[in-house]
Structure 1
Amino acid sequence: MPLSQDEVDDLATKLYEAYDEKEPIAPLTDDVEFSTEDAYRIQFEVFDRLSAGGRDDVVGHKLGLVSEAKQEQLGIPEPIFGYVAHETVLENEPIPTEEMIAPRIEAEIGFVLDEDLTAPVSTMDVLTATRAVVPVVEILESRYQGWAIPSAQDVIADLTSAGKVVVGEQYRDVTDVDLKMESVAVSVNGDVEATGIGGDIMGNPARPVAWLADRLADVDDGLREGELVMSGGISAAIDIEPGDVYTVEFANLGSMEIRAE
């Protein structure tokens, strides 16, 4: 049975207060079970409270659980998605750890769209509609105590672990990059801590973007011209510590250096 609107509002309030006060809470499913559809209802309610313009004014969309292993671990047969708010994009500034609960860093490939994508969408449609691909660093965050994530529904409701986003300056034509073979290495204070390649993202990072375009039709939304779509983490997430310097080096998309304070 779907959650009532009052129940959705109550759960969204718990997450919003955890976000606002930087005080982590127990996973929502510790107290109540809810469906994937209800999880998105909660997420949308939280996002509308956090973002000045709500879902009508976003930088773009983000994907999560883009590997079969992660999907199986959390018991969901598909990726998950969320929104990227303007307020979360860092512009030439350090990672503000004092404003976050327990941030983690991972590397992603971003797609900047040159046209709207309307379902049904294929991987080739995504590549054709892409203005450029860019390096992206996501600063993940969890509003749950100790990053406890017992279910995909908890992650979805919690803004798909959205925190902060750093977009690189190197915009490349999609035809100039072998997305399947594009590699990345993430270093902490000069030591490589995580690596990955584009093919780890559902075989091709454009594939989850196509999935997202189709999935958004279920919630009366879509991918629009000018949006940034973050295709999901290539590298494993690394805990962030104040004072550390993180270097993200892609094979062809360029490199980024970010300091945490």
Structure 2
Amino acid sequence: MPLSQDEIDRFATTLYEAYDEKEPIAPLSDETEFSTEDAYRIQFEVFDRLSEGGREDIVGHKLGLVSEAKQEQLGIPEPIFGYVAHETVLDNEPVPTEEMISPRIEAEIGFILDEDLTAPVSTMDVLTSTRAVVPVVEILESRFQGWSIPSAQDVIADLTSAGKVIVGEQYRDVTDLDLKMEGVAVSVNGEVEATGLGADIMGNPARPVAWLADRLADVDDGLREGELVMSGGITAAIDIEPGDVYNVEFSNLGSIEVRAE
């Protein structure tokens, strides 16, 4: 049975207060089970409350659970998605760890769209509609205590673990790269801690973007010209500690240095 609007509002308020006050909470599913559809309803309510401009403040979309292993772990047969708000994008500034609960870092490939994408969308449609691909670092965040994530629905409701976003300066034409073979390494204070390959993202990072374009049609939304679409984490997420320096180096997309304070 779907959650009532009162229940949606109550869960959204709980998550928003955790986001605003930086106080972690127990997973929502500890109280009651809820569907994927209800999870997105909660997420949209939370986003509207925390975003200064509401949906007008969206600069793009983000994907999560883009590997079958992660989907099986959390019991959901598809990726998940959320919004990227303008105020979450960091511009040549350190990660403000004191403003976050428990940040983690991972590397992603971002797509800047050159035109709207209307369902149905194929992987080739994404590639031909992409203005540029860019290196992206996502600073993940969880409003749940100790990153406790018992269900995919909890993750979805919690803004798909949205925190901060750093977009690299190097924009590349999609035809210049073999996205499947694009490698990345994340170093912490000079020591490599995580690596990955574009093919780890559903075989091709463009594939989850195509999936997202089709999935957004279910919620009366879509991917639009100029948007940034983050195709999902290539590397494992690494805990961020104040004072550490993180270097994210791609094979061809350049590198991003991230400092935590």
TM-score by length of 1: 1.00
Which residue is equivalent to 1:77? 77
CA deviation profile, 1:174-197 (whole Å, cap 9, x unmatched): 000100000000000000000000
In structure 2, the residue matched to 1:96 is: 96
Cα displacement (A) at 1:54? 1.4
Equivalent position of 1:43 in the other structure: 43
The 3-state SS of whatever aligns with 1:69 is helix
How many Å apart are 1:53 and its aligned residue? Answer: 1.4
Unpaired segments of 5 or more residues in structure 2?
Answer: none
SS of match in other structure, 2:231: strand
Runs of 4+ in 1 over 2 A off after TM superposition: none
- One-letter amino acid of the counterpart of residue 226, structure 2: G
Residue matched to 2:18: 18
Identify the residue that residue 183 of structure 1 maps to in structure 2: 183
Provide the C-alpha distance between the structure 2 equivalents of 1:98 and 1:20, rounded to a whole number of angstroms. 13
C-alpha distance after superposition, 1:182-236 (max 9, x if no partner): 0000000000000000000000000000000000000000000000000000000
Residue 112 of structure 1 aligns with which residue? 112
What amino acid is the match of 1:148?
A: S
Which residue in the other structure is 2:207 paired with? 207
What's the CA shift for 1:109? Answer: 0.0
The residue identity in structure 2 corresponding to 1:248 is V
1:192 is matched with which residue? 192
* Residue aligning to 2:63: 63
Matching residue of 2:161 = 161
Give the distance between the partners of 2:40 and 2:21, measured in 1 at CA: 22
2: CA distance, partners of 1:54 / 1:144 = 24
**Seq. identity, %:** 89
**Partners of 2:59 and 2:186 in 1: CA distance:** 24
Give the secondary structure class of the aligned counterpart of 1:126: helix
Q: Distance in 2 between matches of 1:11 and 1:232?
A: 26
Distance 1:246 1:158 in 2: 25
Distance between the aligned counterparts of 2:231 and 2:53, measured in 1? Answer: 23
- Between the aligned partners of 2:195 and 2:148, the Cα distance in structure 1 is 24
Q: CA deviation at 1:57?
A: 2.7
CA distance in 2, matches of 1:227, 1:121: 16
CA distance in 2, matches of 1:255, 1:205: 18
Distance 1:88 1:115 in 2: 24
Alignment of 1:124-163 (within 5 A): 124-163=124-163
Measure, in 2, the Cα distance between the counterparts of 1:164 and 1:173: 25
Give, in whole Å, the separation in 1 of the partners of 2:260 and 2:171: 24
Structure 2 counterpart SS, 1:180: helix
Which ranges in structure 1 are unaligned for 5 or more consecutive residues?
A: none
Q: CA RMSD in A?
A: 0.4
Q: Which amino acid aligns with 2:2?
A: P
SS of alignment partner, residue 116 of structure 1: coil
Distance in structure 2 (CA, Å) of the matches to 1:10 and 1:215: 26
Q: CA deviation at 1:11?
A: 0.2
Task: Normalising by structure 2, report the TM-score.
Answer: 1.00
Cα distance, 1:56 vs structure 2? 3.0
The answer to whether 1:8 aligns with 2:8 is yes
1:55 Cα deviation from its structure 2 partner = 1.9
Structure 1 distance, partners of 2:4, 2:129, is: 39
How many residues are paired up?
261
Q: What's the CA shift string for 1:99-125, capped at 9, x where partnerless?
A: 000000000000000000000000000
